[in-house]
């Protein structure tokens, strides 16, 4: 769930190692992030209850992340816009960095055959990154899945938005905002849609831009024991029509500070974006015309020291392999060169040699997505010769640059 307008609360680093090994697409950028999909106060749920639920994992140079989505057609998964677009860079996450798991409620039991690659990622053309209005995106899968698609609300379902309709939300992961990690088993919880005026009143403290024509809000009443939390982004709000048919009326978008269960969760109204989704389903499944794409002006996001250290370690491990991986006394100290460029001094000891030098890591824009690159100059010298032989002038200093 997106709890502020600077970064999406999505992350994969808290998942079990086995799930990461299965779902994380290979890339030289290492995983990063702070939270993941979650339901507080929920209960274990089965995939039979939520057959359309999809677990989404993605990655670009800024790190790895996870979201929830729903299968709305054999090759189309609906999720939040901020799960598809890097808000800090105004750039789409690369399609090749995504993987989508369907057909399993337990992430530890996901079969490799149930993991789909993504052919294309698209964001709703009217998605406003500054306010998160119209927060919707689609992942076009490379091959169809067998999950039963979830019907989407339309203009005929206006009554479900008026207030009072019970909804279900579902997701994986963190069940306490103060405790990292969470269960691999899908969790579900209940909430009730609030009326537009009540939503505007109760969300003013953390979402002054609430727009009833584009958003809905809901809270668990009267108990206030259940709700979405960090990283449940893209998950569905599911209501029931008068005939009992389940229909998705919302997409998890924004939540209150610290996952406060007394504050409403905010969802994107599905009835407002359903015609756009239908146009992509027609294009994907029936060969219809490709809908118009949003035109963005991507820019480089800021590179944090923590991320620069991760990049440096990944680059040095790639370049020096066991000479860095098995090293002791590793030190990486960084200084900023520019907003998206950081230079780090590095030292380590391995195999009787002292290694030292600098490595500069930086973000780049690669076909509209954020990538990263680096350059380094690393020297090494025999420790005994340099510090104890008394003949430092005879010591051979070797250098490798990249």
**In the structure, what pLDDT confidence band is assigned to residue 366 with cuts at 50, 70 and 90?**
confident
pLDDT of residue 250: 98
Residues 129-146, mean pLDDT to the nearest whole number:
96
Q: Which of 13-22, 229-238, 251-260, 323-332 has the highest mean pLDDT?
A: 323-332
- Which residue reads 């979650």 in tokens? 38
How much is the CA Rg of the chain, to the nearest whole Å?
24
pLDDT of residue 5: 27
**pLDDT-based confidence at residue 16 (cuts at 50, 70, 90):** very low
Distance, CA of 299 to chain centre: 19
Is there a contact between 17 and 24 (Cβ–Cβ < 8 Å)?
no
Helix (H), strand (E) at residue 356: strand 353-366
How high is the pLDDT of residue 230? 56
Classify residue 366 by burial, with Cβ atoms within 10 Å: 0-12, 13-18, 19+.
middle
Three-class SS state of 233: coil
Domain residue ranges in the chain: 17-286, 305-401
Q: How confident is the model at residue 284 (pLDDT cuts 50, 70, 90)?
A: very high
* pLDDT value, residue 38: 46
Write down the CATH number for the domain with range 17-286: 2.40.10.10
With a pLDDT cut of 70, the percent of the chain lying above it is: 84
Residue in 210, 204, 212, 219 with CA at minimum distance from that of residue 165 = 219
Which residue in the block uniquely carries the two structure tokens 């060169």? Answer: 337
In Å, how far from its chain's centre is CA 88? Answer: 13
| CB-neighbour burial class of residue 295 (10 A; exposed 0-12, middle 13-18, buried 19+) | exposed
* Residue 6, pLDDT score: 27
Task: Place 135 in a pLDDT band, splitting at 50, 70 and 90.
Answer: very high
* DSSP category for residue 292: P
Is residue 239's pLDDT more than 50?
Answer: yes
Q: Mean of the pLDDT values across residues 187-205?
A: 93
Helix (H, G, I), strand (E, B) or coil at 58: strand
Q: How far apart are CA 187 and CA 167, in angstroms?
A: 14
pLDDT at 174: 60
């Amino acid at each position: 769930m997106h709890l502020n307008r600077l970064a999406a609360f999505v992350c994969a680093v808290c998942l079990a190692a086995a799930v990461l090994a299965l779902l994380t697409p290979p890339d030289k950028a290492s995983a990063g992030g702070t939270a993941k999909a979650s339901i507080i106060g929920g209960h274990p749920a089965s995939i039979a209850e939520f057959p359309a639920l999809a677990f989404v994992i993605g990655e670009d140079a800024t790190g790895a992340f996870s979201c929830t989505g729903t299968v709305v057609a054999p090759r189309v998964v609906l999720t939040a816009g901020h799960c598809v677009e890097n808000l800090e860079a105004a750039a789409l996450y690369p399609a090749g960095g995504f993987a989508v798991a369907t057909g399993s409620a337990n992430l530890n039991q996901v079969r490799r055959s149930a993991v789909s690659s993504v052919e294309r990622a698209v964001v709703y053309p009217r998605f406003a990154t500054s306010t998160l209005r119209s927060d919707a995106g689609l992942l076009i899968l490379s091959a169809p899945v067998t999950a039963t698609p979830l019907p989407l609300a339309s203009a005929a379902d206006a009554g479900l938005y008026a207030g009072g309709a019970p909804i279900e939300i579902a997701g994986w992961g963190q069940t306490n905002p103060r405790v990292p990690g969470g269960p691999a088993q899908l969790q579900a919880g209940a909430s009730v849609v609030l009326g537009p005026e009540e939503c505007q009143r109760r969300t003013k403290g953390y979402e002054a831009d609430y727009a009833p024509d584009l958003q809905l809000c809901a809270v668990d009443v009267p108990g206030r024991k259940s709700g979405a939390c960090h990283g449940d982004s893209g998950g569905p709000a599911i209501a029931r029509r008068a005939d009992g048919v389940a229909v998705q009326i919302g997409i998890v978008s924004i939540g209150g500070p610290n996952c406060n269960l007394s504050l409403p969760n905010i969802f994107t109204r599905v009835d407002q974006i359903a015609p756009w989704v239908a146009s992509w389903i027609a294009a994907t499944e029936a060969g219809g015309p490709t809908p118009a794409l949003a035109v963005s002006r991507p820019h480089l996001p800021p590179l944090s020291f923590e991320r620069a250290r991760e990049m440096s370690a990944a680059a040095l491990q790639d370049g020096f392999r066991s000479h860095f991986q098995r090293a002791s006394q590793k030190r990486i100290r960084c200084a900023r060169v520019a907003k998206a460029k950081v230079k780090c001094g590095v030292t380590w000891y391995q195999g009787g040699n002292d290694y030292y030098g600098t490595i500069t890591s930086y973000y780049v824009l690669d076909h509209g997505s954020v990538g990263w690159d680096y350059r380094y100059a690393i020297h090494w010298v025999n420790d005994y010769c340099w510090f104890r032989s008394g003949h430092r002038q005879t010591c051979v200093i070797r250098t490798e640059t990249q």
